[in-house]
Each structure stands twice: as C-alpha cells, then as structure tokens.
A and B are shown apart, each in its own frame.
Chain A
Amino acid sequence: MSTLILTVRGLSAKIAGQQVVEDVSFDVPSTGVTALLGRNGVGKTSTIKGILGLIERRGEVTFYGDSDGDGDPGVRLDRQRTHRIVQRGIGYVPEDREVFSKLTVAENLRLAERDANPRREFVAELFPDLVARSGQLAGTLSGGQQQMLSLARALINTNRLLLVDEPTKGLAPIIVGEVADALEEAAKTVPVLLVEQNLQVVRRLAAGAIVIEGGRVVHTGDATELLDNDDMTRRFLGVHAEAGGQTPADSEATS
C-alpha cells in the first residue's frame, strides 16, 4: 500500500444543525486521483467542506503533508480554521466554481496567490484563455471559463493535496474534456481527492474510489473495478456501468 496524504476517521458534519455527514472514514493516497463517489445529496460535498472546516464538523482529519518520507506523524486539521488548513498546502476547487464574479480574472488569481513564488507561467500555459481575458469580470465568463479560473486559483500555488468538487458539473462535453486534461496534468504532481458525477471522467482519472451513501462510506476500492462491476455501480451510483461510456450530457441527466 502506498503512503497516505490524508486520513479521515469518524468525520461527522452538520449544516444548520442538520447532520449531513455521519462517521465517515477513508484514506487518500499521496499520489494520483482518488474519486469520492455516490448519488446526489449523499454528503460528498459536505465531506470535502468538513475536511476544510467550512462547515461545523467532528472527527479526526490528519494531514501528512509536511514531509515526504515515512514516519510523518501528521497534523490534525479538525480543530483548525479554514485558512490555516488551506495554508498547509491544500488547494480547493469548490462545487459550482464560486469565482468572485465582481472581480476580474486577474484579481481572482491575485487573491488566490499565497506562495512567495506563485506559478503564474504554469497556469498561463494550462489556461491560455484566462490570460487573454485577464481584465474581464469573472461573472461575465462562460461556465467553462469560470471552471478553468476556479482550477487556476488552486493550481497557482504549489499544493500538497487538491480537493476538487464536481469540476465538470453543467459543462458542455468539449469543456469537460479540457477540464479533465487540466486535472490530469495537475495530478501528475499532486494527489487529488475528486468528487465527480461524470463516470467517464472518473474512469479516465481516478485510481481509487470511495463511495458514500446516506452520509457514510459504503465502499472503498479500485475505481476501474468498481466501474466495471455493473451490479455495484447500479447499487451505489444509481446508473448502469455503461454510464462509464456514456456521454457527459447523458450523465448530467442522471445527476
């Protein structure tokens, strides 16, 4: 078994007093993409937000990002405030992009820079479109461009872990491919915990898969194995394994 970047033990989270995540435990390996799967409303986004402390949470979240070697005792994230957690090297790409619509593209990026040496060239290479539109208000970008900006905001810093929440949601098929390309490029250097409804994207990027149902983890294992198993896919995700080969537009209808 490879080394871990993050372990989650008994995580529970609440939104407005309502339990949305209950006793969730899983590991995120220190390389590659790990997919966090499950039907809509099962608590995937809340799990991510709970890790980041964006919602009220309980449980043990340990981050092994401070050294590359074994024997890293890890740091507990579950008592820290969000900005401290992020400063440890955790990049976040939220659901629905959440770009600052009244700030320009350049300002959105400038706000996100927290390293002494932000990777501006890397981001400019990855998303040339954003460079061309740097003076434009983010609110006037298309959905796909906003998603690129949201990704760029995370990638402009050197992270030790990326938390990416439904990056292809509501995007046109051709854009989905571009987002997946960018993620694949990013995943070469940093582990990713990815929430994703589009199983085609999951099949392409993810090594491991964690399935959540009703706020709890119900399955952990290899992503391809899961997607190849018609029975499990239907049971856990409510779609046929064929969905792995379906177009994103179709998978949108099931999400």
Chain B
Amino acid sequence: MNGVKGFLSRPLVKWALAGVLVAFLAILPMLAIDIPGVFPGPTYTPGTLQLIAFSMLIASLALSYHLIFGVAGLLSFGHALYFAIGAYGLGIALRHFGLELLPAILLTFVIGLFIAAAVGALSLRVTGISFAMVTLAFAQAGSVLIRKNPGQLTGGDEGLALDTTHVPDMFVGVLQTKNLYWLCLAILVVVFLVSSWFEQSRAGHVVAATRENELRVRVIGIRPYFVKLLTFVIGGVLATIVGMAYLLLQSSATQKLASADFTLTLLVIVVLGGVGYRWGAVIGGVVYTLLDQRLTAFASSDAVSGLPDFLRIPLSQPLFILGTLFILVVLFLPGGLAGIPGRIARTRSRTNEPRPAPEKNVLEERE
C-alpha cells in the first residue's frame, strides 16, 4: 500500500500519469465510449464533445481562480469579470472592429492584462472582507456596463453572438466540434502548466508564505503587495484566455458571465474540489459542470415529475441540489473532493501515529 502510494506521489510519475490522461483525452473524439447518465451520447458525438470541452473550460477557469483564492488566499468576488472580458472582448473585436482572429485575441489579452492590473493594484490596498467587496464592486460595474449595452457593443440582455467572418473554418460549425474540443484541452493543459510553474516559482512560494503569515514575509524584507498583485494579474489573464475560448466554443456571450453569481459558482467549484489543490480545481470544475448538466436533465425527467410536491420541487432545481451539496462539503468535507484520498489514508494510519490537522490554513481569515 505504502509502496504504491509512494510511487504515485513521485513527481515524475505524477507528470507521466498526467501525460497519459491528456493523451487519452486527446484521442477521445476518435473513440466511442458511452457512459449513459453522464454523457448525452458516445464520446465522438458533437454533443458529448461540447459538454466535455465546456467542462474543461470551467476547470481551467477554476484553476485560474485557484491561483488567487487557493494559493494567494485572496477572497476575490470579482473573478468572473476577467472571464467576461475575454468572451466579450474577443466578441466585440471580431464583430465591431472587424479584426482578424489573431489580432483580436492579442487585443483582448492586452485589455484583460490592463484591467486586471488596474483593479488588482487598487483593490489590494485593502485586505480581507474589504478586498472581497471592492472586487465584487468592480465586477458589478462590469456586469452593469454589459447590460447597459453602450454603443450597441455588448448586445445588452440579448447577449453577443460570435461573428464568424474572421474565424477560421476549422472552429466554426457543429461538425468542427472536435477541433474546438482540442482547443479547450490545449487551454486546460496550458493553464495547468502555468499554474504549476507559478506555484513552484519563487513568487509562488512567497505568495503562499504571505497567505500563511504576512508578517513573517514582511520581516524578511519582501513587500507582499507585489507578489499578490502578480498572482492576481496572472489569474485574471488566464481567465481572459479561457473566456476567449468560451466564446469560440459557445458562439455567444451573455451578461451572466460577469455576474457575481458566476464568481460565486467558481468559488463553489474550487471549494467543492478542495481548496489549495490544483487537481481539486480541475476535478471540481468537471464534476460541477457534469452535475449541473445532468441534474438539469434529471430535473425534467419522468422520475422526478412523478414525485410528490415536497420532493419534486427541490429535486427539479439543479442549483438547489448543488447548493445543498456545497453546504455539506463545507460542513463535513473540509478538503473537498481532492482531500478525500488523504482523509481515507489518515483514517487508516490514525492507529499508528497522530497527524497534524488535515485542513489547510487557507480558510483562516487574515485581516
């Protein structure tokens, strides 16, 4: 048992396993794996590919939020803003500025970078709950702006449809879903690599140390402000990139993307997966998306509509089930889904030696 666990936790083995997983995901569009109840059809069908691609995007977005919340310990309530900037930025650049795809992507990237840097620089001047509020306020401003539809740019409540004039054919249409799927897989891999690299970089170590004990970091002569800002900007820019892919995959952006609810969803995903675990964010993103999709199907199924009211009404609301699930995870499963193996291992070894508390310190408030 220990031998296997030790083997699995070696870095090289971990990366090799991750490589195998990515390779498997990459050939998925050629396979016909059918898991009824999880996927709407075999894995080569556009509907299933679309769903998996979507869940990979949400996983990537959760990873970018993991950097800010899990690694830096910054409770941002405005992360959806950078995602929305990606989706709307690209959409506007393609539709209204008539740019080619590549320049449009570059422009959106620069805008995301600039806004993340500006908002981060301002909001990081305060800490704790105040920081959460400032980020929430900026995201709210973004959401209002999108809904106000200035200069007919955003399409207001109608949303903004992707203008495919300058998008290469390989990314347009249902038949090309597998290309979009590969794009989303590539983005997930890139975001994961960037997160790993950042967490293992000097800045990543410093910002994690800041999360645990800001004073100690100050004492050794580092100003935590800049590493926090760096983390905030990297997380924001990654979200912008994911947002652009979202627009290509979903062909439209709606004002919901910038809403506070969407950031809260990300928070739910990261906590569900396990705060502080990179894999947790990925697993949380995938599980959440699949649950959300399947629960919606479940809610309108005959099995539910035949139930008496007091069961039918709650079960017909996917968000009710997810919200309840989330509460239960927070109350009873502090490490989230990614923390489960560790909990099991600890329960087994409890007779041998007591271990330190399993919960990471991320969730402690620092004022």
Residues of A within 8 A of B (CB): 16-17
Chain A hits for B324, CB < 8 A: none
Task: Enumerate B200-246 residues with CB–CB distance to A below 8 Å.
Answer: 213
Rounded to whole Å, the gap between the CB of A204 and the closest CB of chain B is 38
Rounded to whole Å, the gap between the CB of A144 and the closest CB of chain B is 31
Rounded to whole Å, the gap between the CB of A150 and the closest CB of chain B is 25
Q: Say yes or no for B349: interface residue by CB 8 A criterion.
A: no
Q: Which residue of A lies closest to B366 (CB)?
A: A16
Chain A hits for B361, CB < 8 A: 17
Give complex CA distance A16, B361 in Å: 10
Give complex CA distance A231, B142 in Å: 69
Task: Enumerate B301-354 residues with CB–CB distance to A below 8 Å.
Answer: none
Give complex CA distance A17, B213 in Å: 10
Q: Interface of chain A, helix or strand or loop or mixed? A: loop
Chain B hits for A17, CB < 8 A: 213, 361
Give complex CA distance A16, B213 in Å: 9
Task: Enumerate B164-223 residues with CB–CB distance to A below 8 Å.
Answer: 213
Give complex CA distance A17, B364 in Å: 11
Q: Which residue of A lies closest to B216 (CB)?
A: A18
Rounded to whole Å, the gap between the CB of B42 and the closest CB of chain A is 51
Residues 354-367 of chain B, each 1 if its beta carbon lies under 8 Å from chain A, else 0: 00000001000000
Q: Which residue of A lies closest to B212 (CB)?
A: A17
Count B-side interface residues using an 8 Å CB cutoff.
2
- Of the A-B pairs whose beta carbons lie under 8 Å apart in the complex, a sample of 3, sorted by A's number, is A16-B213, A17-B213, A17-B361
Q: Which residue of A lies closest to B361 (CB)?
A: A17
Rounded to whole Å, the gap between the CB of B107 and the closest CB of chain A is 45
Residues 98-135 of chain B, each 1 if its beta carbon lies under 8 Å from chain A, else 0: 00000000000000000000000000000000000000
Chain B hits for A16, CB < 8 A: 213
Rounded to whole Å, the gap between the CB of B362 and the closest CB of chain A is 13
Q: Which residue of B lies closest to A18 (CB)?
A: B213
Q: Which residue of A lies closest to B213 (CB)?
A: A16
Chain A hits for B213, CB < 8 A: 16-17
Rounded to whole Å, the gap between the CB of A103 and the closest CB of chain B is 23
Rounded to whole Å, the gap between the CB of B94 and the closest CB of chain A is 50
Rounded to whole Å, the gap between the CB of A9 and the closest CB of chain B is 21
Give complex CA distance A81, B213 in Å: 27
Give complex CA distance A48, B126 in Å: 33
Rounded to whole Å, the gap between the CB of A119 and the closest CB of chain B is 38
Q: Which residue of A lies closest to B364 (CB)?
A: A16
Q: Which residue of B lies closest to A16 (CB)?
A: B213
Residues 79-112 of chain B, each 1 if its beta carbon lies under 8 Å from chain A, else 0: 0000000000000000000000000000000000
Give complex CA distance A160, B284 in Å: 55
Q: Which residue of B lies closest to A17 (CB)?
A: B361
Rounded to whole Å, the gap between the CB of A55 and the closest CB of chain B is 14
Give complex CA distance A222, B285 in Å: 66
Rounded to whole Å, the gap between the CB of A15 and the closest CB of chain B is 11
Give complex CA distance A4, B213 in Å: 40
Give complex CA distance A17, B361 in Å: 10
Give complex CA distance A96, B361 in Å: 30
A-B CB proximity, top 3 nearest: A17-B361, A16-B213, A17-B213
Give complex CA distance A34, B361 in Å: 38
Rounded to whole Å, the gap between the CB of A11 and the closest CB of chain B is 20
Give complex CA distance A17, B359 in Å: 13
Give complex CA distance A26, B361 in Å: 33
Give complex CA distance A185, B73 in Å: 51
Give complex CA distance A16, B216 in Å: 12
Rounded to whole Å, the gap between the CB of A12 and the closest CB of chain B is 15
Rounded to whole Å, the gap between the CB of A20 and the closest CB of chain B is 14
Rounded to whole Å, the gap between the CB of B361 and the closest CB of chain A is 7
Rounded to whole Å, the gap between the CB of B209 and the closest CB of chain A is 13
Give complex CA distance A163, B213 in Å: 31
Rounded to whole Å, the gap between the CB of B84 and the closest CB of chain A is 37
Give complex CA distance A17, B356 in Å: 12
Give complex CA distance A245, B361 in Å: 48
Give complex CA distance A17, B212 in Å: 10
Give complex CA distance A17, B366 in Å: 13
Give complex CA distance A44, B36 in Å: 65
